A and B are shown apart, each in its own frame.
Chain A
Amino acid sequence: MISLAWAAAFILLAPAIGGLIAGIDRKITAHMQGRVGPSVLQPFYDVGKLFEKEGAMVNETQRFYVLSYFVFAIFAGGLFFAGGNLLLVVFALTLAEVFLVLGAYSANSPYSHVGAERELLQIMAYEPMLLLTVVGMYVAAHSFDAIDIAGFPMPLILLLPGVFLGFIYILTFKLRKSPFDISTSHHAHQEIVKGVTTEFSGPNLAFIEVAHWYEVVLMLGFVFLFFAASWILALIAIIIVYLLELAIDNTNARVKWQLAVKSSWAIALVLGALNIAALYLIGRA
């Protein structure tokens, strides 16, 4: 059931893919803003530079939290691409995020603290929809395992349009894009400096960045699952979805957390739950 080869491929290639996606992201964003922008390899230079910086920390435990976040983000993604149980993937990802939050708490810094609180709010906002995505896939494809869902003969988007839209909504949270980049962001000055990543520097920050790349690839993998019946279609869908996220990012300002949380819950109920309920009604469950 579990394919170690795919997991290994993910572990080795995801940083390259994720970094490239980040680079293309910045390039396209720049052109949207009428600029030239950096090279598409820029994220790699950034991470390389961060590794070269002094490993100064606010306290000794930060290294442990960052490492744990890193390891479990890879674990979650590896499990996903190995074809494993999607619920476990989501739980492992949540575990990774909690380590990041704890690292931010440990720093005893106001910006870090508010960032950590907002990160928890963010998780509370998107977790229902993320779990409902998994549940929706189970109801449609009759399995929790990514490998079975990927092997489903029909593109799941046809059965789960609402769930898909809901997932795209919370994808904005996971990709840390406006309007839902409330805890930290790649943009310039946040109102809380860098939020959850404020007190991390040098190699620690590099690990966080690379872990984020792993997460991005994992999330795009989820998008893939909605179209897995046809790989060409899936690839096109991933590109379109990411471009959509970019467009939304560049045209929206950050919202307050209250709106972010409430709207996510509403979306989860209306788009997610109703879609799955409809599956029961039409007998496709």
Chain B
Amino acid sequence: MDSVQFLLFLILFPLISALFMLAVRRDTDRDWIVKLSALVIGAVTVLLLVTQIGQGAVYLWFNAEPVSLLMFALEMVISVIILWFAVRFRNYLVIALTLAETVLIIWFESAATPAVMVKDPLFLDPFSIIMALIVGIIGSLICVYSLGYMRHFYQHHTGIPDRTNTFFIIIFVFLSAMFGLVFSNSLVWVFFFWEVTTLCSFLLIGFTKTEEATKNAFTALWMNLLGGIAFAGAIVYLTYQPAGMLGLDQVLVSGKALILIPAALIGFAGLTKAAQMPFSSWLVGAMVAPTPVSALLHSSTMVKAGVYILVRFAPAFQGTTVGYTLAFVGAFTFLIASGIAISQTNAKRVLAYSTIANLGLVVACAGIGTYEAIWAAILLIIFHAISKSLMFLSVGTVEHRIRSREIEDMNGLIVRMPRIAAIMTIGIAGMFLAPFGMLISKWAAIQAFINAPFGLVFVVILVFGSAFTLFFWAKWMGRLLVITPDAENVEGLVDKNEWIALVSLAGLTAVTCFIFPVISAYLIEPFLLANYGTVANLSQDNIIIMMMMLFLIVLLPLSILLPHKKARTLPPYMGGVETAHDMHFQNALGARTEMKLANYYISPWFGEARLATTGICLCSVFIVIMFALAFVGGGAFL
């Protein structure tokens, strides 16, 4: 297969799966189709990697004319669908925004001449391969997981009609759009796929059709539409530039001063998609959706599209005040979202804020735009996608067993659900602990920031935010690992499909840590070389040290199995009071008292209300400054 066939297959095959979903009636048929599709998508993505690696960027001619017309038609359809929902729920903001966006789309279509259209709208480069792997492998695993999850979901919500088919249709359409997004060179195509993901996200957040879900779905919609308008605005602007500025390749080699305005606009679009402050509330609200949605769209793929486009534009941002302001939005989002995560007791909200924070770090790297920063950014994207999706899926499984999303209810999970808790521990470790992936990425980010002009500010923000992340992850991990002797093991009922996904992702977390030097050498560095002329990497010594640490971490748990004398078990110290195994005791007045341990959440310092308001105000100011610099002037070089 040549490159074009690969890309087209990946974009179109999920749509075929979606079509089959329309006809499916029996559970077993659906299982078959989803698993087969997942397998095919995953396998083809890996095949893509294996065959296309080392090729550098490949631009693929495609007869774009009929496709562009089709896209325009579909964009109108999307607008109509959104309008229909908005009218039905009387959401005037969404109506206004959709109309504005539609006007921009029509404006572009009418103003566009054939000269402006991109000749080779499809392309493939190492970064696209990385994104495709994330979508293909993680996306497929999440599809398999969803089989178990949705079955359980409908078993426990017997009142509502079973719309599992619809669920999978939207998921497959979404996967198709994500592939299209990362394989598109034409900004017009990127915009089309971008809007498809907005629609999918809206439908999936509101999937349960509760009042809260609908409200949150519309919040996500208007914020993403705002980004969409900015994106469309950028396209319209580029249409009026000298010929051929709508392709990513052309945009980036043009003079920086020319593309500051579209860069700022698309930067804004990326910020909304990646739920950066002040647009973070939609991602937090999206947590009402079924957990596979949170795992797929709202941590590993769709929000990555937002930072993906920012990383693509990084050469344009490098060394400009526009880029720096964008980076500040990301950096402060990282700091503040990490802080808020400390005060959250709901596991999915912690994961949401952590996602926002990590994306903020990527945005900061993209805004700074040096090759070291981009190296860190891509590492962050990879590791975060894997670890975060693992965490979301684990939380979904745990929620189904213990009927709660609260971290405090996960006390002693290592006894109640040992293997799931172990997997979650791997996931959490992957998020903040050396020598796992996120730590490597953070390390790279520190080194990248310190070498950039004015980078010290970012370093300071990073070290503080990093301390916050350590606090909330470590206390969650501790909560899981409490050994409560008498707790009952409820793990037996976990669905096999969920196991497949969880174990695979846990394995992937470990494997990517081990092979990250290889990923860096074969995928990231060629990308950097092509776009910057130089590469960044960790020195050989440091890689060896990382490997040592990894080996130690793998070996040390074996110490539990070491033969040793059977030691006496002591009860915990309770000031001399006799306690039962479940730690209840007789208090000084003779009454029965339970011991209850809970984590610190420090709401007075890290409460959501106060910090979110600060973040929203601060980042709004930065965004205004960014636009001012781009449109009015002074946006160029530092």
Chains A and B directly touch (beta carbon < 8 Å):
yes
**Distance in Å: Cβ of A263 to nearest Cβ of chain B:** 14
The reply to whether B570 and A98 contact each other, CB–CB distance below 8 Å, is: no
**Distance in Å: Cβ of B465 to nearest Cβ of chain A:** 9
The reply to whether A138 and B545 contact each other, CB–CB distance below 8 Å, is: no
Residues of A close to B468: CB separation below 8 A: 124
Residues of A close to B572: CB separation below 8 A: 58, 107-110, 112, 199
The reply to whether A273 and B569 contact each other, CB–CB distance below 8 Å, is: no
Closest 10 A/B residue pairs (Cβ):
A109-B572, A105-B478, A91-B434, A56-B568, A131-B463, A59-B483, A127-B467, A124-B471, A128-B463, A124-B467
Q: Which of A50-99 contact B (CB under 8 A)?
A: 54-61, 63-64, 67-68, 71-72, 75, 79, 84-85, 87-88, 91-92, 94-95, 98
Residues of B close to A268: CB separation below 8 A: 463-464
A-B contacts, 24 of them at CB < 8 A, read A57-B570, A58-B571, A63-B559, A63-B560, A67-B559, A75-B552, A85-B539, A91-B434, A95-B434, A95-B549, A101-B478, A105-B479, A105-B482, A106-B482, A107-B572, A108-B572, A116-B478, A123-B470, A123-B471, A124-B467, A135-B456, A138-B450, A144-B447, A273-B460
The reply to whether A269 and B600 contact each other, CB–CB distance below 8 Å, is: no
B515 on the interface (CB 8 Å rule)?
Answer: no
Residue in contact with A58 in the complex, picked from B439, B548, B565, B569, CB distance below 8 Å: B569
Residue in contact with B446 in the complex, picked from A60, A94, A135, CB distance below 8 Å: A135
CA distance A265 to B572 in the complex (A): 34
B541 on the interface (CB 8 Å rule)?
Answer: yes
Chain B interface extent, by class = 35 or more
CA distance A59 to B478 in the complex (A): 15
The reply to whether A101 and B474 contact each other, CB–CB distance below 8 Å, is: yes
B residues with CB within 8 A of A: 412, 433-435, 439, 443, 446-447, 450, 456, 459-460, 463-464, 466-468, 470-471, 474-475, 477-479, 481-485, 539, 541-542, 545-546, 548-549, 552-553, 556-557, 559-560, 564-565, 567-575, 583, 595, 597, 599-600
> Which residue of A is nearest B471, CB measured?
A124
The reply to whether A111 and B573 contact each other, CB–CB distance below 8 Å, is: yes
Residues of A close to B483: CB separation below 8 A: 58-59, 61, 106-108
Residues of A close to B464: CB separation below 8 A: 128, 265, 268
A201 on the interface (CB 8 Å rule)?
Answer: yes
Residues of B close to A102: CB separation below 8 A: 474, 477-478, 481
**Distance in Å: Cβ of B319 to nearest Cβ of chain A:** 17
Task: For the complex, count residues of A whose C-beta is within 8 A of B.
Answer: 65
Residues of A close to B481: CB separation below 8 A: 61, 102, 105-106
Residues of B close to A273: CB separation below 8 A: 456, 460
Instruction: Known A-B contacts: A56-B568, A117-B600. Give 18 more (CB < 8 A).
Output: A54-B567, A55-B564, A55-B565, A55-B567, A56-B567, A58-B572, A61-B560, A67-B556, A67-B559, A84-B542, A92-B549, A102-B478, A109-B572, A109-B574, A110-B595, A123-B471, A138-B450, A139-B450
CA distance A2 to B541 in the complex (A): 8
The reply to whether B583 and A108 contact each other, CB–CB distance below 8 Å, is: yes
Q: Mark A32-43, 1 if CB is under 8 A from B, else 0.
A: 000000000000
CA distance A57 to B568 in the complex (A): 7
**Distance in Å: Cβ of B536 to nearest Cβ of chain A:** 14
Residues of A close to B443: CB separation below 8 A: 87-88, 91
The reply to whether B567 and A88 contact each other, CB–CB distance below 8 Å, is: no
Residue in contact with A57 in the complex, picked from B433, B475, B569, CB distance below 8 Å: B569
A149 on the interface (CB 8 Å rule)?
Answer: no
CA distance A11 to B527 in the complex (A): 42
Residues of B close to A84: CB separation below 8 A: 541-542, 545
Residues of A close to B595: CB separation below 8 A: 110
**Distance in Å: Cβ of B14 to nearest Cβ of chain A:** 40
